[in-house]
Structure 1
Amino acid sequence: MHSLPLFVRLSGRPVILVGEGEAADAKRRLLDRAGARIVGEEDGEAALAVVALDGDAARAAADRLKARGLLVNVVDRPELCDFTTPAIVERGPVIIAIGTGGASAGLAKTLRQRLEALLPAGLGSIAEGLSQLRGEMRRRWPDGGDRRRAIDAALAEGGALDPFADHGKGVVDRWLVEAGEPPAGQLVVVQLASGDPDDLTLRVARLLGRADALWHRGNVPDAILNRARADAERHVADALPPPPASGLAVWLEL
């Protein structure tokens, strides 16, 4: 992973914008959308800067700003960038960012357009409902693991809160009333076709994304393990583990 994706709250915060013209205007619109306070290069409080200049002027401006400790984005100059701005899909509080590390803005744009067509307009209402009912969910499922598994089941394909389905208003309230108890613990054995993550089936990719714990022999490469949730437990073992009391455990064999 060449970059760590971060969402930075810019509302009311100063961001330096250097440059004029079409590229600068596009960055200005993006920063305005995020609520940033756009300032000039002389501002001493800003931590981020965007440079929309050409040629040597772009490098000179980037060098000046970096020398002051700012993180800098330079339009169409990925080699000069400390951060890049992604293509964005927005559905209320849900923000999906697609980045290529500056390799191809056109590819990021195309992926954004595809996702725009896939994601229903009401997706944001699911996020808002889950936020508003957080306290009630904690009371319903005091254990954090049980709570996460109940939410995961609801958000799964075909689930009560499937984010790719078009739901009506109050769907989260209805789900919370009707939701059953989280399923019992489960151990799933996966025979990998190879150590190449491109060979993962859709089923296995989904299992890795849901697993609470991974068990595997030492020959399973990180390229496969990194497809799992970052907070999933990982265990190197020589034999199949017992089924877990709760949650989903996946045993990987290569």
Structure 2
Amino acid sequence: MTGLPVLLNLAGRPVILLGEGPPADAKRRLLERAGAAVTNDERATAALAIVAVEDDQEAQAAIERLRLRGILVNAVDRPALCDFTLPAIVDRDPVLVAISTGGVSAGLAAALRQRLEAILPAGLGELALTLKSARDRIRTRWPESGDRRRAIGAALASGGILDPLAAHGADSVARWLDGDDDGAKDRLVRIMLRSDDPDELTLREARWLAQADRVFHAPEAPLAILDRARADAERIATNDVPASPGPGLSVIVGYAA
């Protein structure tokens, strides 16, 4: 990764913005949408600053002064001088999708944002809020955390009752909770690698890895493939097929003989 993605709560917090013109105006609008208290006073107390100054020497001098005070700086159109970058954003409040190229190509990030805008339903945020309000009911139905995660994963999977890319009625979460299918079936599936390139995984194989509770893999299986699994999925290096793989979805990753 070129950096660690984080979401900052800027509500009411000062952020220094230096510069004038369209680039500075665009950053101001973004900061104000996030609730930041934007100031053009370089001497203000703040943790973050954005420098949208056109003159190179003036911009670099401001960046150096800010860094000496321990302030993290975003330098507009100067990726080599940035401590952090601002991603392209798809906003389905409270769902927020951020697309970053690490400052390499803002145009590519914008193009991806436009594609995702067309894919993600307008009601996605409402689905998230409904799931939040149903949290107690979800915990009551699935008291054990593993069962709960698997049930939620099955409901939100492609084609599931709560598929986030599909349109849903206001009662969709209630119907899911009142239904009989808990989505917590134990399964063991196998992925036979054709190469070390994760892009050669089929869509179904990529989904299996993303949903797996544990991954049994050949010791030589490439990290690029294994990193497609959930971060908290258990990884077990072995060449043997387990007799009792465990609850939930287990995935075996190996090479064809």
The residue aligned with 1:180 is 181
Whether the aligned pair in 1 keeps the contact of 2:50 and 2:76 (CA below 8 Å) is yes
> What is the one-letter code of the residue matched to 1:37?
A
The residue aligned with 1:195 is 196
The residue aligned with 1:170 is 171
Superposed, 1:124-163 pairs within 5 Å as: 124-163=125-164
Structure 2 distance, partners of 1:37, 1:156, is 39
Whether the aligned pair in 1 keeps the contact of 2:155 and 2:183 (CA below 8 Å) is no
Superposed, 1:1-254 pairs within 5 Å as: 1-39=1-39, 40-44=41-45, 46-54=46-54, 55-254=56-255
Whether the aligned pair in 2 keeps the contact of 1:50 and 1:75 (CA below 8 Å) is yes
Gaps of 5+ in 1: none
Structure 1 distance, partners of 2:35, 2:184, is 43
Whether the aligned pair in 2 keeps the contact of 1:17 and 1:50 (CA below 8 Å) is yes
Structure 2 distance, partners of 1:30, 1:156, is 32
Structure 2 distance, partners of 1:179, 1:92, is 31
Structure 1 distance, partners of 2:124, 2:244, is 35
Any idea what SS the aligned residue of 2:98 has?
strand
Structure 1 distance, partners of 2:243, 2:68, is 56
CA offset at residue 80 of structure 1? 0.6
CA offset at residue 179 of structure 1? 4.7
CA offset at residue 243 of structure 1? 3.7
- CA displacement, residues 60-87 of structure 1 (integer Å, 9 cap, x when unaligned): 1111111111111010111011111111
CA offset at residue 170 of structure 1? 2.4
Structure 1 distance, partners of 2:185, 2:177, is 19
Any idea what SS the aligned residue of 1:72 has?
strand
Whether the aligned pair in 1 keeps the contact of 2:90 and 2:96 (CA below 8 Å) is yes
Gaps of 5+ in 2: none
Structure 2 distance, partners of 1:70, 1:208, is 39
CA offset at residue 25 of structure 1? 0.5
Percent sequence identity is: 57
Structure 2 distance, partners of 1:73, 1:200, is 36
Aligned length: 253
Any idea what SS the aligned residue of 2:96 has?
strand
Task: Provide closer, same or farther for how the CA distance between residues 242 and 193 of structure 1 changes in structure 2, counting only shifts above 3 A.
Answer: same
CA offset at residue 92 of structure 1? 2.0
Deviates more, 1:242-251 or 1:96-105: 242-251
CA offset at residue 164 of structure 1? 0.9
Q: After the TM superposition, which parts of structure 1 deviate over 4 Å for at least 4 consecutive aligned residues?
A: none
Any idea what SS the aligned residue of 1:184 has?
coil
Any idea what SS the aligned residue of 2:220 has?
coil
Structure 1 distance, partners of 2:14, 2:219, is 49
**TM-score between the two structures when normalised by the length of structure 2:** 0.95
Any idea what SS the aligned residue of 1:214 has?
strand
Whether the aligned pair in 2 keeps the contact of 1:185 and 1:243 (CA below 8 Å) is no
Any idea what SS the aligned residue of 1:137 has?
helix
Structure 2 distance, partners of 1:57, 1:170, is 57
Structure 2 distance, partners of 1:236, 1:85, is 38
Structure 2 distance, partners of 1:183, 1:137, is 13
RMSD of aligned Cα (Å) = 1.2
> What is the one-letter code of the residue matched to 1:17?
L
